[in-house]
């Protein structure tokens, strides 16, 4: 704003050299240079309007891309097929055979109870397929042991939330199964946060560790000891898994269950086409939907895009007002220059040439202030 007159003078000199062959263009550029303060203030409203629009767009887009990128680090699968209703086995096979699917992993889920009566989600799948499909990683322990059926992989998140919901109904340690060591009553100050009694192992914690024992009740009412063989790295995808075991151990505990989720890794060159193919395939199945990877990030991106569009819609009015202001200011400028314009008419300039001169001057002012407004908005954004 302060340097506007200087920029107007420099821009006018450049326009004069560019329009040297045009009489009306050269005079229009000389008008900008002769009164640079008037040139600068004529379109200041346009500078402010374009600056704000560009600032909101650039900074909002930067925030959106950054937040989506950070959330994308917690989601590796390209698509997640989720079903409110069970997913038929033929759908699982058809998805695996779609062109563009590099790897898919079907997951079966069930709610199970431990010896203390706390319910949690248990998932069964081919662990090796999950590693390839969603980049499943363990912060401690071994996923190889989980794949071999020698234990479970857990985050502790699902169990902690389940215990928080059921805290008013958790029975005492006297409910431990016959032949197991009773869970000792807590002494001293209670631990912060929700806790989970892990059966007869005597462990009571909200943080799952390798070596703990889950005493889970199977469909026949028998207690199955499941050691924690791995602690999963927390990702958006793993939140849907809960406690993960291989398919054989899952069937032993939860029995035969339908597929509830399918994780899909796609060929990146065909990811858009694959999304359409999945939607077409699932169109006839009620309650089954294909969700793109990093769906939370995409929801957040949609919200930010809406906010940017809403703010820019309001700021767009200021740009329109600024353009009307340029017209008004130019009209006043022409009124002030009646004698000047009369002189050039007397010297032989035609009416159309006068109009062309005024339009060229207005156009040059608009270009200058647009460059300043957009440039400042991009820099600050």
The pLDDT value recorded for residue 327 is 81
Listed residue (363, 358, 361) closest to 335, CA to CA: 358
The pLDDT value recorded for residue 74 is 61
Contacts of 69 (CB under 8 A, 6+ apart): 297
Q: What is the pLDDT of residues 268-287, one digit of tens each?
A: 777 778 888 888 888 888 88
* pLDDT tens digit at each of 381 positions of the chain: 788 888 888 888 888 888 878 888 888 888 888 878 877 777 787 888 889 889 998 998 898 888 877 766 666 677 888 888 888 888 888 888 888 888 888 888 888 887 777 777 888 888 888 888 877 778 888 888 888 888 888 875 444 444 444 444 444 333 344 444 444 444 444 333 333 333 333 333 345 778 888 888 888 888 888 888 888 877 766 777 778 888 888 888 888 888 888 888 888 777 778 888 888 888 888 888 887 776 666 677 788 888 888 888 888 887 788 778 778 877 877 788 888 888 888 988 888 888 888 888 888 888 888 888 899 999 999
Distance from C-alpha of 254 to C-alpha of 88, rounded to nearest angstrom: 18
Q: Tell me the three-class secondary structure of 252-280, residue by residue.
A: HHHCCCCEEEEEEEECHHHHHHHHHHHHH
Distance from C-alpha of 239 to C-alpha of 121, rounded to nearest angstrom: 10
The pLDDT value recorded for residue 375 is 92
Distance from C-alpha of 69 to C-alpha of 352, rounded to nearest angstrom: 56
58 burial level (CB within 10 Å; 0-12, 13-18, 19+): middle
Q: Are 282 and 288 in contact (CB under 8 A)?
A: yes
């Amino acid at each position: 704003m302060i340097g506007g007159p200087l920029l107007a003078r420099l821009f006018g000199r450049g326009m004069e050299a560019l329009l040297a062959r045009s009489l009306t263009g050269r005079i229009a550029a000389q008008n900008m240079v002769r009164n640079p303060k008037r040139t600068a203030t004529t379109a200041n409203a346009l500078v402010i309007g374009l600056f704000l629009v560009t600032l909101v767009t650039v900074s909002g887009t930067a925030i959106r891309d950054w937040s989506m990128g950070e959330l994308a680090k917690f989601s590796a699968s390209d698509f997640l097929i989720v079903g409110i209703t069970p997913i038929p086995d033929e759908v699982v096979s058809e998805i695996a055979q779609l062109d563009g699917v590099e790897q898919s992993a079907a997951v079966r889920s069930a709610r199970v109870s431990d010896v203390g009566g706390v319910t949690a989600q248990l998932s069964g799948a081919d662990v090796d397929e999950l590693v390839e499909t969603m980049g499943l990683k363990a912060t401690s322990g071994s996923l190889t042991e989980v794949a071999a059926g020698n234990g479970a992989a857990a985050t502790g998140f699902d169990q902690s939330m389940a215990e928080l919901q059921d805290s008013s109904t958790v029975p005492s340690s006297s409910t431990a199964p016959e032949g197991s060591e009773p869970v000792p009553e807590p002494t001293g100050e209670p631990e912060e946060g929700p806790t989970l009694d892990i059966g007869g192992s005597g462990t009571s914690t909200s943080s799952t560790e390798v070596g703990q024992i889950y005493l889970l009740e199977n469909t026949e009412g028998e207690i199955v000891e499941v050691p924690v063989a791995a602690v999963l790295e927390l990702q958006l995808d793993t939140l849907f898994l809960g406690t993960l075991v291989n398919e054989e151990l899952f069937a032993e505990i939860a029995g035969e269950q339908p597929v509830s989720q399918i994780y899909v890794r796609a060929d990146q060159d065909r990811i858009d086409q694959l999304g359409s193919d999945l939607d077409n395939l699932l169109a006839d199945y009620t309650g089954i939907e294909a969700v793109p990877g990093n769906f939370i990030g995409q929801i957040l991106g949609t919200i930010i895009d809406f906010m940017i569009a809403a703010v820019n819609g309001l700021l767009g009015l200021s740009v329109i007002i600024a353009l009307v202001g340029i017209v008004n200011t130019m009209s006043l400028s022409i009124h002030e220059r009646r004698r000047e314009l009369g002189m050039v008419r007397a010297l032989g300039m035609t009416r159309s040439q006068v109009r062309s001169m005024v339009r060229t001057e207005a156009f040059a002012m608009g270009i200058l202030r647009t460059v300043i407004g957009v440039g400042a908005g991009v820099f600050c954004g």
